[in-house]
Amino acid sequence: MATPSVLDKIKGQSSNGKSTARKLCLVASKGSLDMAYPPLILANAARMSGIDVDIYFTFWGLDIITKSKMNKVNMSTVGNPAFSMAPYAPWFKIPTWMGIIPGMSRIATWMMNREIAKLDFPPIPEFIETLVDTGARLYGCKMSMDMMNLTEDDLVDGAEILGAMEFMEISKDAQVMFV
Amino acid sequence: MTLTIDLSILENLEFDDDGFMVDHDVWTPEIGAAIAAVLEIEMSARHWDVINFVRKEYETNGEAPTLRRITKAGGIPTKELYTLFTGGPAKIAAQVAGLAKPTGCI
C-alpha cells in the first residue's frame, strides 16, 4: 500500500465525481472585443478546474450571446488611453484622437481577432458554444433585454433570461466578478 | 484496456505538492490506472483515449495539450470530456497522465 501522504497529495487536487464547493459568477457588462474575452476566458478556466460557473450578460455584454451580434463584436478605438499597436509596434502609442478616424475600429478588430486566433483561442460564437458544452450557465439580463427589445429566441441556444433578483439568488454562495 | 490496480506502485514515485508526478517519463499505464483509482475515477476505454492522446502529445511536443487541442485534434467533444472528468478535465487528465499541472488558459 502506498503511503497515505502520497495518496493525500494526489487526492488533494481532485473533486472528481463530487460537486465542488467553489462557484464563480461572472457579470459581463461590456460589448467590445477586448472586454468580451476576459469573462469568457475566466469562465472557461474555471470550468477546466472543476469550478461551477454562471455568466450574467448585461447591457452591452448581451451582444456576446445575441445571435445576430456575436459575430460583430468590435474593438473600440475611442476612449482607450492604452490603445497601442502592440504587438506590431508596441512603442507606438496611438493618440486618442486618432481612434475616431473612420476604419480604425475595423482595423483594430481585425488585428485583435488575428492575434487571438494565433493563440488558438476560438472566435466568440465558438467560445460560447464551448462554454455551454463545459456546463457553464449563461444568462441574459432581463432588464437589458427588455430595453433592447430582445427575447429568448434572440439569444444563443443554452442561454436563459434572468432578473437581477434571481441573479442574487444564484450568486448567493459564489465568488462574483464584474467585468 | 484493463489493468490491475496496484496502489503500491505509487509509493516510490515523487509527486509535487499539488499531486502531480514530478518525473513525467517514468509514467506507465499501470501508474495512470493507480492515480485514477486514488481519484476515484473508473477508467473506461474513452478515458484511456484521452489519456493516451495526452501522453502522445507530451511525447511529441514536450508538454500537455490544451483542452481545446484534445477536442480538436484528439476528437473528444468538450461535453464528453467534462462527463469523463467531472472535477475539471484539464487538471485531472494531466494528473492521470503523469504530467505537470497545466498552465494553458484554454
Q: Are the C-beta atoms of residues B20 and B99 closer than 8 Å to each other?
A: yes
Do residues A39 and A85 both lie within one domain? no
Whether residue A14 is contained in a domain is answered as: no
Closest chain A residue by Cα to residue B10: A2
Please give the distance of CA A117 from its chain centroid, rounded to a whole number: 16
What are the cell numbers at A21?
Answer: 464547493
- Run of H or E residues at A124: helix A124-134
Taking residues A106-115, what's their average pLDDT?
Answer: 91
- A127: CB partners within 8 A, 6+ apart: A37, A40, A44, A121
What are the helix (H) ranges across chain B? 29-38, 45-61, 67-72, 78-84, 89-96
Do residues A150 and A66 both lie within one domain? yes
Whether residue A11 is contained in a domain is answered as: no
Do residues A110 and A136 both lie within one domain? no
Q: Cα separation of A102 and A107, whole Å?
A: 10
- pLDDT bracket for residue B94 (50, 70, 90): very high
Angle, helix B89-96 to helix A4-13, in steps of 10 degrees: 150
Please name the member of B69, B85, B105 whose beta carbon is closest to the beta carbon of A45. B105
Overall number of domains in chain A: 2
Q: Whose grid coordinates read 460583430?
A: A72
Do residues A94 and A177 both lie within one domain? no
Q: Are the C-beta atoms of residues A125 and A71 closer than 8 Å to each other?
A: yes
- What integer pLDDT is reported at residue B1 of this predicted model? 57
Cβ distance of A14 and B92 shorter than 8 Å: yes
Give B-chain residues touching A10 at CB under 8 angstroms: 10, 15, 19, 35, 38-39, 95
Q: Cα separation of B39 and A63, whole Å?
A: 40
B34 catalytic per annotation = no
Give B-chain residues touching A7 at CB under 8 angstroms: 7, 10, 38
- What integer pLDDT is reported at residue B29 of this predicted model? 94
**Substitution target from B35, B39, B79 for chain A, most A beta carbons within 10 A:** B39
- Gyration radius of chain A over CA positions: 19
Do residues A81 and A116 both lie within one domain? yes
Q: Domain span at residue A98?
A: 76-122
- What integer pLDDT is reported at residue A94 of this predicted model? 83
- B13: CB partners within 8 A, 6+ apart: A6, B21, B22, B23, B26, B31
Give me the torsion for CA of A63, A65, A68, A74, rounded to 10°. Answer: 40
Say if A4 is an interface residue toward chain B (CB within 8 Å): no
For residue A150, CA distances in Å to A27, A68, A70, A144, A159 come to: 19, 11, 14, 8, 13
Say if A5 is an interface residue toward chain B (CB within 8 Å): no
Do residues A105 and A147 both lie within one domain? no
Question: Of A129 and B61, which is predicted with more confidence?
Answer: A129
- What integer pLDDT is reported at residue A1 of this predicted model? 56
Mean pLDDT of chain A: 90
pLDDT tens digits, one per residue of B80-91: 999 999 888 988
**CATH number (domain holding residue A26):** 3.40.1260.10
Do residues A132 and A166 both lie within one domain? yes
- pLDDT bracket for residue B32 (50, 70, 90): very high
Q: What is the ipTM of this complex?
A: 0.88
- What integer pLDDT is reported at residue A4 of this predicted model? 67
Do residues A117 and A151 both lie within one domain? no
